[in-house]
Amino acid sequence: MSNKIAVLPGDGIGTEIVDQAVKVLKALGTPFEMEFADVGGVAYANHGHPLPESTLKLAREADAVLFGAVGDFKYDKLERHLRPEQAILGLRKALGLFANLRPAKCFAQLTGASTLRPEVIAGLDILIVRELTGDIYFGTPRGRRTAVDGHFPGTPEAFDTMRYSVPEVERIARVAFEAARKRNNKVTSVDKANVLETSQLWRDVVTRIGREEYPDVTLEHMYVDNAAMQLVRAPKALDVVLTGNIFGDILSDEASMLTGSIGMLASASMNDKKQGLFEPSHGSAPDIAGKNIANPLATILSAAMMLRYSFDMNEEADAIEKAVEKVLAAGIRTGDIMSEGCRKVSCSEMGDAVVAAL
Ligand code: IPM
Ligand code: MN
């Protein structure tokens, strides 16, 4: 097995947090071949494109991509196709990473770090399964034109297209049902079938796959507005949450707050060849970049997901997750999850602590 990892730190805090995950991977003693490349704003600055051909080639050839974060205020004025975010969208599309797994788990030691009451989130363990290569993110046609109908004909308008095909929904539904079988045998599929044609197709397909292939898994459907409410009202009633690209984007940020900090939320984006891109769910936080104060745990936990999903190294993945728990139990905290009586550490000290616990 080649065990090749493309390491793409990106912008803002990307470099600091990815450094910590690399440190943890190296501490395992398994020989990974790691190759670094620019992505996002820094790639635009150095190569004129957020996803240079050389970076894409490296990512295609690797078994897994370890990704930091992209984006910075200074690139906000660029044309859309040159913005840092296009790098992550381009990688998802080019590698066919249709299945995004975002576990929201509340570590026992962090129940006090959330803005929600401890009893609402203690023991929380949700898996969001977000479809990642379809929906309004990639649907065509899209663009600008002069309106010919609608409320204001003759005026400039913009439009995007929400669309899903049957096979696209089938394959992501199977990912969610399979995951549910390894957990508590329950899937909540989230859509807006009371309004959207796309969502009605989504609901029909998920229902059929559930009935025909996974009769042992309990399936419920929920409208996305209600799901947003249930996530803060009674999140522990949810287990596997299956949803589309745009709803999953929004709900996963909301779910991150149940874990104490978005700095804790890992993410895996997989294709059907077990190739994956692993990144924290948070962004590049340019306001705190270079200060060595970011929380690297989401990235370290993403590296654990990489071991589990792309390299079948379950023991090593468990070991990293246990090490993180141990560090939290020892009262070691970055600023975002700091609470009274704990010891505040820097980003790199947090990485060192996880390595020591390993
Ligand atoms: C995420 C991010 C991305 C998305 C952006 C950076 C394009 O918010 O991974 O959730 O919307 O998918
Ligand atoms: Mn997002």
Domain locations along the chain: 1-98+271-358, 99-262
Give the pLDDT score at 1: 52
Q: What is the pTM of this model?
A: 0.94
Q: Is 182 exposed, middle or buried (0-12, 13-18, 19+ CB in 10 A)?
A: exposed
Q: Say if ligand 1 is within 6 A of residue 135 CB.
A: no
DSSP 240: E
Catalytic residues: 137, 192, 225, 249, 253
Token pair 């859309």: residue: 80
Q: Say if ligand 1 is within 6 A of residue 249 CB.
A: yes
Strand 276-278 with 268-270, pairing: antiparallel
Ligand nearest to the CA of 71: 1
Tell me how far apart the alpha carbons of residues 226 and 222 are, in angstroms, rounded to a whole number.
Answer: 7
Q: Say if ligand 1 is within 6 A of residue 89 CB.
A: yes
Q: Answer yes or no: are the C-beta atoms of 277 and 65 closer than 8 Å.
A: yes
Q: Write the residue with the smallest CA distance to atom 10 of ligand 1.
A: 249
Q: Write the residue with the smallest CA distance to atom 8 of ligand 1.
A: 249
With vertex at residue 277, the alpha carbon angle to CA 346 and CA 351, rounded to the nearest 5 degrees, is: 15
Task: Report CA(254)–ligand 2 centroid distance (Å).
Answer: 10
Helices (H), 79-135: 85-95, 118-121
Tell me how far apart the alpha carbons of residues 263 and 166 are, in angstroms, rounded to a whole number.
Answer: 35
Query: Percent helix, strand, coil in the chain (nearest 5)?
Result: 45, 20, 35
Give residue-wise pLDDT tens across range 123-146: 999 999 999 999 999 999 999 999
Task: Report CA(106)–ligand 1 centroid distance (Å).
Answer: 22
Q: Write the residue with the smallest CA distance to atom 4 of ligand 1.
A: 249
Task: Report CA(30)–ligand 2 centroid distance (Å).
Answer: 32
Name the nearest CA neighbour of 76 among 295, 294, 283, 298. 283
Over the chain (358 residues), the average pLDDT of each successive run of 10 is 90 97 95 96 96 98 97 90 94 98 92 88 96 98 96 97 98 98 97 98 98 98 98 96 97 90 93 96 94 97 97 96 96 93 97 98
Closest ligand 1 atom to Cα of 100 = 9
Q: Which CATH class is domain 1-98+271-358?
A: alpha beta
Tell me how far apart the alpha carbons of residues 269 and 267 are, in angstroms, rounded to a whole number.
Answer: 7
Q: Write the residue with the smallest CA distance to atom 11 of ligand 1.
A: 249
Q: Say if ligand 1 is within 6 A of residue 85 CB.
A: yes
The fold for domain 99-262 equals Isopropylmalate Dehydrogenase (3.40.718)
Task: Report CA(230)–ligand 2 centroid distance (Å).
Answer: 19
Closest ligand 1 atom to Cα of 249 = 10
Q: Are 1-98+271-358 and 99-262 equal in CATH topology?
A: yes
Q: Does a cis peptide bond (omega within 30 degrees of 0) precede residue 141?
A: yes
Closest ligand 1 atom to Cα of 71 = 6
Closest ligand 1 atom to Cα of 252 = 10
CA dihedral 229, 231, 235, 237 (to 10 degrees): 60
